[in-house]
Amino acid sequence: MALKERDAAIVGIHEFPLRNVEGRMTSAQIKAASAERALADAGLKWSDVDALYDASEAGDTTGMALAEYFGIHPRVLDTTAMGGSSYEFHASHAKRDIGAGRAKVALLTYGSTARSDSRAIGTGGGRAGGGSSPLRNMEVSWGQTLIASYALVARRHMHQYGTTPEQLAEIAVVTRAHAMRNPEAVKAMTDLRFRDVREITVEDVVKGRMIADPLHLLDCCMISDGGGAVVIAAPEVAAGCRHKPAWILGAGEAVGYSENGRDITVSAGAQSAPLAFAQAGVRPGQCDIAMMYDSFTITVMTLLEDVGFCGKGEGGAFVQGGRLRFDSGTKPALNTDGGGLSSNHPGMRGIFLLIEATRQLRGDSTSQVPGAALAVAHGNGGQLGGRHAGATIVLGRD
């Protein structure tokens, strides 16, 4: 495969292994521990880092204060905060900044203690916090939870295209199958006291408790602690790293929001993905791996369509029959680490999309697709039915 773009590559990764730190670690400690391991994975040192990207997700010690906490002096600093998709935005910016010659080694980190803090991310009611804003004034009075926003999309998708709960459930089934092959995911589900740590069926999903119609319990991701780190480097640095580079071939960014007359079954991904694939010079159908942000099953259904694996409204038929399993023999394989549904979702899981895509391109996944050469990671942050961000990263190996 002729790879057009070789500005920058992912050369170091680490997924923090614990999903429940039981209040014994802070988010910043998770970030630092993950950074150290990702740099070691690359064969690089703290002092090599000259670009730092952070979503300010962990309070006082992050954002502007993160370089101080780490004790480094980068010359590119980027605190883009786009919810769960922040890390795809960061990868996009790192490619841009390294490509422009402004930096050689970029560090992305994530840390969260959502589980230990008992944060009810999806069902906690309107957004907390004070202050007046038009957004707050037009949204908080009617009980719009985060899950409800995704459920609004799911209901409309069903109405418009005839999508069924069973088709959505297929997505949860395939990611659980991948999770059961991943020891860290199995440990996660065990540590988070899932009732059943086993493969699940479509029936298990659709007979489960309804959280916000039409989304059932198993249509929703877990809430874990966790974090990770990614190191992105210039070609001359990547050449000396321990692993083969996962080249960032293309990147695209977008936001979507509630508008009069907007079709809410179409996400920001419909804008970001074509940009990323055009830059990469490849088509979605060529991708071996699809790392689609799975906050909920409907998120994946929407993103598969918007990223371009199938037409809008065709997602229901597309996901049927285990088609997205790593061993189905058809492209792509979906969320081969087990995803947010069954492996790791501390609130903003975009970094894990980059990490698992890189594992696949290295040949290191627990649900490895033989010869995987091309992957797409699409992050979706915010609320799919309202204000959200989407960023697409296309990755390839030599």
Pull the structure tokens for residue 306. Answer: 């918007």
- Cβ partners under 8 Å of residue 374, min gap 6: 1, 282, 286, 287, 288, 289, 394, 395, 396
Using rule CB under 8 A, residue 74 touches another protein: no
Pull the structure tokens for residue 101. Answer: 């010659």
For residues 217-229, one letter each, b for 16 or more C-beta atoms within 10 angstroms of the residue's C-beta and e for the rest, the string is ebbbbbbbbbbbb
Shortest reach from residue 266's CB to another protein, in Å: 13
**Residue choice 77, 100, 120, 239 for contact with another protein (CB under 8 A):** 120
Tracing tokens 């009810």 back to the chain, one arrives at 120
Which residue's CB is nearer to another protein, number 41 or number 219?
Answer: 219
Which residue's CB is nearer to another protein, number 98 or number 153?
Answer: 153
The strand pairing partners of 111, in sequence order, are 227
Using rule CB under 8 A, residue 140 touches another protein: yes
Using rule CB under 8 A, residue 148 touches another protein: yes
**Window 209 to 268, contacts with another protein (CB under 8 A):** 209-215, 258-262, 264
SS3 assignment, position 245? coil
- Cβ partners under 8 Å of residue 138, min gap 6: none
Burial class (CB in 10 A: 0-12, 13-18, 19+), 111: buried
Using rule CB under 8 A, residue 162 touches another protein: no
**Residue choice 124, 285, 311, 321 for contact with another protein (CB under 8 A):** 124
As a dihedral over the C-alpha atoms of residue 81, residue 217, residue 224, residue 68, rounded to 10 degrees, the angle is: 10
**Residue choice 26, 56, 144, 320 for contact with another protein (CB under 8 A):** 144
- Cβ partners under 8 Å of residue 100, min gap 6: none
Nearest alpha-carbon partner for 184 in 377, 345, 344 = 344
CA 129 to chain centre: 26
Which residue's CB is nearer to another protein, number 124 or number 321?
Answer: 124
Pull the structure tokens for residue 394. Answer: 């296309």
Shortest reach from residue 131's CB to another protein, in Å: 8
Using rule CB under 8 A, residue 201 touches another protein: no
Region of 67-75, 78-86, 140-148, 347-355 interacting with another protein (CB under 8 A): 140-148
Using rule CB under 8 A, residue 133 touches another protein: yes
Using rule CB under 8 A, residue 156 touches another protein: yes
Using rule CB under 8 A, residue 152 touches another protein: yes
Shortest reach from residue 270's CB to another protein, in Å: 18
- Dihedral sign for Cα atoms in the order 325, 10, 235, 380: positive
Which residue's CB is nearer to another protein, number 96 or number 156?
Answer: 156
Shortest reach from residue 133's CB to another protein, in Å: 7
Q: What are the residues binding another protein (CB under 8 A)?
A: 120, 123-126, 130-145, 147-148, 151-156, 159, 209-215, 258-262, 264, 385
